[in-house]
Amino acid sequence: MAGRIPQEFLDQLLARTDLVEVINIRVPLRRAGRDFIACCPFHTEKTPSFSVSPQKQFYYCFGCGAHGTAISFLMSYERLEFLDAVEDLARLAGLELPKTSGQNPLSTQPLRDSLTQADRFFRQQLREHPDRQRAVDYLRRRGLTGQIAATFGIGYAPSGWDNLSRALRGVGIEAQHLMDAGLVHRDEQGRLRDRFRDRIIFPIRDRRGRAIAFGGRALSDEVTPKYLNSPETPLFHKGSELYGLYEARIRPGVLPQLLVVEGYLDVVALAQHGITYAVATLGTATTAEHVERLFRTVNTLIFCFDGDRAGRAAAWRALLATLPLLRDGRQVGFLHLPEGDDPDTLIRREGQAAFEQRLTQAMPLADYLFAELRLQANPDTLTGRAQLADLAAPLLEKLPEGHLRDLMAERLRQEAQLINTRLRPHPVRTAQPVDHHLRLTRTPLRKAIALLLHRPDLARLALADDAIRIDDAEPGLKLLAELTRALNANPGLSIAALLERYRSTREGSILEQLAQWRPEGPDEDYQFEAEFADILSYLRRRDNLRRRDDPDKRLLETLLRRSTPRTLSAEERETLRNLGKSKKV
C-alpha cells in the first residue's frame, strides 16, 4: 500500500513528524528517562506499559504488543486507512500529498470523487430543481430552516430513475465508480438506476467533512423503506460511522459530552435548537466501534432513546456495547423520553432549556443496569437476589479492571445483599514474552540489526564492499546489507522512515520486533561500535569459512553459533581472533 506514495515523500514526512507530539495530543504522555510512557490506548491497564521513543520515533506496548510509527498509530487509534493517515500527517507537517495513480485498483480516490460530485448534485437540486418545493415544504413542516439545512449539507434526490447517474457521467465519472460508491445499481436489463429517488438526502461525513455515504428520507410516510442508507463500500462501514459527529466536533468551544440519538432529523432538529452535540447511529444498533469512536472525542456519553419497547431494547444493546470500554474517567447516562415522543418532537415543543434539564436527569449507567435487572429478578426474595447476582455477575465481568469495576461489584453486593462478590479476573494480556531482550538477541544477525535500528550511524562501519556478503541461503544477511546501504545513502533517514519502507512485509514484521530492543543501561555506557564491529567481523569469518574446507571449521562454527561475540569468554574471543587471522579473513 505504501508503494502508491513516493518513498522520498514518506521519508520527508516522517522526518518532519514528531511521534511524541502526535500521540500526546490524543494520549497524555509523561517522561520516563529517555522515553515517554502512558497507559496503553489499545487495551485496559492500571500501570503504564505504553512506551514512546523520541529517538526511534517508535511506540511499543509491553502489555498488548501494539507497536509502530506515527502512521501506524493514526491507523490504529483513529481507525484510518494508510492514505488517510499519511494525509493527516502531511497536513500537520505542511506538506502537499503527492497525487497517486488513479489507475491503481486499490485507490479510493475515484469513489471520493464520485461521492463529492453526488453531494454537490443533491444540494444543487434542493436549490434549483423544478420539484424542489416539495422537499422544501417537507423540511419546513419538520421545523427546519435553510440555515440548518446548509450546515448539515442537506440535499434532495428528485424522482426519476437516473438523474444522478446521467449528471455525474456527464462530468466524466465512470459508471463502475458510481456503483462502487453505492450511488447506483443496474436493473435486470442492465440499466443504471439511482439508489436515491424522491428523497431528502443527508450526507454522512468522515472526520474531515467529506461525504462518504448518504441517508435518504422518503417524502411520504407511505413509501418504504422510510429511511434508506448507502450500502457498505470501501469508504463506508455502517457499524462504525455516526451521523453528525463531524458537525459536533467542529462546533466552537469545548465539547463536554455527546448525546446519542436514533435519527438524522433528531440530530438536525436538536442542533437547530442549540443542542449541537448530538449524533446518531445509522439505523443500526450501537456497536463497540461506535462507542470507542465517541470516547475518543469525549469522556461523557448520554444515550437518548424513545420510551417505547424498541427504545428500551436499543438502550440495553447500547449498555452491552459500552461495558467493556468503561475505563475509569468515562461516564455514561441513559435518558428515556416520554412514550410517543422523540428528540425531534420534544425539542420543538419544550425548547433547549427544558430539554437540557432532562439531560441532567439522565440515569447513570450503574443505576440503569440494576434497574433493568430488578425487572427480571425480585430482590425482595432470596431466590430473586440469587437470580439478580447470576444476571449481574457476567455483565460486571465485562468491565475493564479499575475502580469502576470494584465499585460495581460493591453495588451488586448491596443490591443482592451478598456477603461477598467475586468477579473473575481478566486474563493477563501479554502478546509478547516477558523477556524481550533474550528474544531479540538469539542470533548475531538479529543483534546487528537491532543495534543498527538503535544507532543508525553504525552503518558507516559497513561501508566496504565486502563488509557484508549477501548469502541467498540466509535472508537476514540480505536484510542487514539493505539496511546499511539505505542508511549510508541517506544519512538523515529516521528509523521510522526505514521501517515504513518494509510495511506489510515479512521483513517489516521482523524489524518492528527488533526495534523494540533497548540496551541494558545508559547509551553512553554501551559499546555499540565495538559490538557491531565484532558481529561484522565474525559474519565475514563465517562467510569465508563456508566457502572452503578448513581443519578449524568445527571450532569456528561452534564459537560463531553463540549469540554474540560478547557472550564468549575472553579465551574464546582470543581464539576466534587468532583463527580469523590465521585464515587472513
Whether the predicted pLDDT of 17 surpasses 60 = yes
Looking at residue 577, its pLDDT comes to 63
Looking at residue 553, its pLDDT comes to 57
Q: How far apart are CA 240 and CA 277, in angstroms?
A: 18
Whether the predicted pLDDT of 565 surpasses 50 = yes
CATH T-level fold of 436-582: DNAb Helicase; Chain A (1.10.860)
Whole-number average pLDDT of the chain: 84
| pLDDT band per the 50, 70, 90 thresholds, residue 99 | low
Given a contact cutoff of 8 angstroms between Cβ atoms, the answer to whether 45 and 52 are in contact is: no
Whether the predicted pLDDT of 439 surpasses 50 = no
Looking at residue 433, its pLDDT comes to 35
Q: Closest Cα partner for 79 from 322, 292, 301? A: 292
Average pLDDT of span 322-349: 92
Average pLDDT of span 449-472: 69
Q: Where in the chain is the domain with CATH 3.90.580.10?
A: 2-93
DSSP helix/strand/coil, 122: helix
Looking at residue 474, its pLDDT comes to 63
Write the pLDDT tens digit of every residue in 481-521. Answer: 888 888 888 877 888 888 888 887 888 888 888 888 776 65
How far is C-alpha 236 from the chain's CA centre?
Answer: 15
Write the pLDDT tens digit of every residue in 29-80. Answer: 999 988 999 999 888 788 899 999 998 899 999 888 889 999 999 988 877 7
Structure-model confidence comparison of residues 269 and 585, the more confident one: 269
Question: Residue for cell digits 504488543?
Answer: 65
Total residues found in the chain within this entry:
585
Q: Closest Cα partner for 543 from 487, 472, 484? A: 472
Looking at residue 231, its pLDDT comes to 95
Looking at residue 329, its pLDDT comes to 83
Q: How far apart are CA 28 and CA 311, in angstroms?
A: 37
Write the pLDDT tens digit of every residue in 119-135. Answer: 999 999 999 999 999 99
Looking at residue 571, its pLDDT comes to 66
Write the pLDDT tens digit of every residue in 135-191. Answer: 999 999 999 999 999 999 999 999 999 999 999 999 999 999 999 999 999 999 999
Looking at residue 356, its pLDDT comes to 96
Q: Closest Cα partner for 293 from 279, 305, 304? A: 279
Burial track 440-450 (b if 16+ CB lie within 10 A, e otherwise): bbeebbbbbbb
> Which range scores top for mean pLDDT: 348-352, 471-475, 561-565?
348-352
Structure-model confidence comparison of residues 567 and 294, the more confident one: 294
Looking at residue 563, its pLDDT comes to 46
Other CB atoms within a 10 A radius of the CB of residue 272 amount to 22
Residue type, 357: Q
Least reliable range by pLDDT among 14-28, 311-325, 427-441, 568-582: 427-441
C-alpha cell at 528: 555499540
| pLDDT band per the 50, 70, 90 thresholds, residue 435 | very low
CATH code for the structural domain at 2-93: 3.90.580.10
Helices 365-374 & 382-396 angle (0-180, nearest 10): 140
CATH T-level fold of 108-236: DNA primase DNAg catalytic core, N-terminal domain (3.90.980)
Write the pLDDT tens digit of every residue in 180-227. Answer: 999 999 999 999 999 999 999 999 999 889 999 999 999 988 888 999
DSSP helix/strand/coil, 243: strand
Provide the pairing of β-strand 300-305 with 258-261.
parallel
Average pLDDT of span 407-422: 81
Work out the burial of residue 562: count CB atoms within 10 Å of its CB; fewer than 13 is exposed, 13-18 middle, 19 or more buried. Answer: middle
Question: Residue for cell digits 500500500?
Answer: 1
Looking at residue 389, its pLDDT comes to 92
Looking at residue 137, its pLDDT comes to 96
Structure-model confidence comparison of residues 322 and 103, the more confident one: 322
Whether the predicted pLDDT of 390 surpasses 80 = yes
If phi over 0 gives left and psi between -120 and 50 gives alpha, with beta otherwise, what is residue 115? alpha
Q: What pTM, to 2 d.p., does this model score?
A: 0.68
Q: Where in the chain is the domain with CATH 3.90.980.10?
A: 108-236
CA dist 112 to 210, 231, 358, 537, Å?
A: 8, 15, 40, 54
Q: Closest Cα partner for 323 from 266, 368, 281, 262? A: 368
Q: Where in the chain is the domain with CATH 1.10.860.10?
A: 436-582
Write the pLDDT tens digit of every residue in 356-378. Answer: 999 999 999 999 999 999 999 98
CA dist 210 to 127, 152, 475, Å?
A: 20, 12, 44
